[in-house]
């Protein structure tokens, strides 16, 4: 697809990459036949590349397809079309058996640690389970689990306790230890700190930063919170209704977001600084996200776009008829999918 044409060639080849990923979930009629009557366009042509030891943040609001994209990249769900490359191999073409050893390398950390930890297993058993599943426990598994408990900043005495005995931050650490058990190369972090209180969230963010440095991990960090993203990510991709609307390095994006959606998202995040808050320009979007079963034609953001309102009829026509592709030939330093992209300094 032409969106790929102006992708700058990374110096090193990416560890994991998605190419033209499309995922549609069928909408079925009620009754016995359950005919397919439509489709939810969850992900529509997403291209992503993550290099070794790099953190790519995927940002967007609920329902924009960011978690689906993460699961597509893990080959946990089958894409409607498109390819996923991990170390040069197309994962979507592999059989379940061929996929199995690769699953070790790509692990997932979930948002809600209480829901993703088995309440009837001890911490030790939870962290040992992936090793047992892959037949690696006999070979020094006990020591491996012990060192994992230490790596994620938990007490060694915790290993015989159950998840309910821990606080939210500690549970998330158990989830991270489990994900690290098989010495993965890539971690998919799906809103890993969204459910935690701020004072505890900070410790988990610091842990993720340290682990990346020590173990040379590659992260896909799925989040809706741009403040956390600025703190942890090297590159950012902003999603809206199944499409990437803007991408760039973290510094480029925060220095001058060029897509009106990124600008609105950035201006909506409150800053914990009263003087700056009073002085800030606020872009408040009107309306709600359209349904992904029937996305708007042309630019998917045009129904809520503050810039669209200011355009002349002729200029608006382009937004309605022509789908904007990611491009970097505008004033800013990011790649934005907007016909009239222009950078704006917001923070």
Which one of residues 198, 281, 312, 329 is an interface residue with another protein (CB under 8 A)? 198
Q: Is 164 in the site for another protein (CB under 8 A)?
A: no
Q: Is 230 in the site for another protein (CB under 8 A)?
A: yes
Q: Is 62 in the site for another protein (CB under 8 A)?
A: yes
Of 104, 65, 1, 72, residue with least CA distance to 291: 65
Q: Which of these ranges, 95-103, 182-190, 285-293, 336-344, lies near another protein under the rule CB under 8 A?
A: 285-293
Subset of residues 286 to 315 that bind another protein, contact rule: CB under 8 A: 286-288
What does DSSP say about strands 106-109 and 186-190: parallel, antiparallel, or unpaired? Answer: parallel
Phi, psi (5° rounding) for residue 3?
-60, -25
User: Which of 135, 272 has the CB closer to another protein?
Assistant: 272
Q: Residue 157 CB, nearest distance to another protein (Å)?
A: 8
User: Which of 265, 337 has the CB closer to another protein?
Assistant: 265
Q: Is 88 in the site for another protein (CB under 8 A)?
A: no
Q: Is 202 in the site for another protein (CB under 8 A)?
A: yes
Q: Is 265 in the site for another protein (CB under 8 A)?
A: yes
Q: Is 275 in the site for another protein (CB under 8 A)?
A: yes
Q: Is 114 in the site for another protein (CB under 8 A)?
A: no
Q: Is 96 in the site for another protein (CB under 8 A)?
A: no
Q: Is 32 in the site for another protein (CB under 8 A)?
A: no
Q: Tell me the residue length of the chain.
A: 347
Q: Is 133 in the site for another protein (CB under 8 A)?
A: no
User: Which of 80, 249 has the CB closer to another protein?
Assistant: 249
């Amino acid at each position: 697809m032409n969106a790929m044409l102006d992708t700058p060639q990374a110096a090193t080849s990416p560890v994991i990459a998605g190419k033209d990923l499309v995922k549609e979930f069928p909408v079925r009629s009620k009754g016995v036949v359950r005919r397919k009557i439509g489709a939810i366009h969850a992900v529509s042509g997403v291209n992503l590349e993550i290099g070794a030891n790099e953190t790519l943040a995927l940002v967007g609001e609920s329902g924009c397809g960011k978690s689906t994209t993460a699961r597509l990249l893990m080959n946990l769900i089958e894409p409607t079309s498109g390819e996923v490359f991990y170390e040069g191999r197309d994962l979507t073409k592999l059989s379940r058996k061929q996929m199995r050893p690769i699953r070790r390398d790509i692990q997932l950390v979930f948002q809600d640690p209480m829901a993703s930890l088995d309440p009837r297993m001890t911490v030790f058993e939870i962290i040992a389970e992936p090793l047992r599943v892959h037949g690696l426990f006999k070979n020094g598994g006990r020591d491996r689990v012990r060192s994992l408990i230490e790596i994620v900043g938990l007490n060694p005495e915790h290993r015989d306790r159950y998840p309910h005995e821990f606080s939210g931050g500690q549970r998330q650490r158990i989830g991270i230890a489990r994900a690290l058990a098989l010495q993965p190369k890539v971690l998919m972090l799906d809103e890993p700190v969204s459910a935690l209180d701020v004072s505890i969230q900070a410790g988990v963010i610091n842990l993720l930063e340290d682990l990346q440095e020590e173990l040379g991990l590659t992260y896909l960090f799925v989040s809706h919170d741009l403040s956390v993203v600025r703190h942890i990510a090297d590159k950012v991709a902003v999603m809206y209704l199944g499409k990437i609307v803007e991408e760039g390095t973290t510094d480029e994006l925060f220095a001058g977001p060029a897509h009106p959606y990124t600008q609105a998202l950035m201006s909506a995040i409150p800053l914990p600084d009263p003087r700056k808050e009073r002085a800030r320009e606020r872009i408040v979007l009107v309306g709600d996200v359209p349904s992904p079963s029937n996305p708007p034609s042309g630019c998917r953001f045009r129904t809520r776009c503050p810039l669209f309102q200011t355009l002349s009829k002729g200029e608006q026509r382009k937004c309605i008829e022509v789908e904007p592709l990611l491009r970097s030939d505008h004033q800013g330093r990011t790649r934005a999918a907007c016909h009239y992209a222009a950078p704006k300094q917001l923070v």
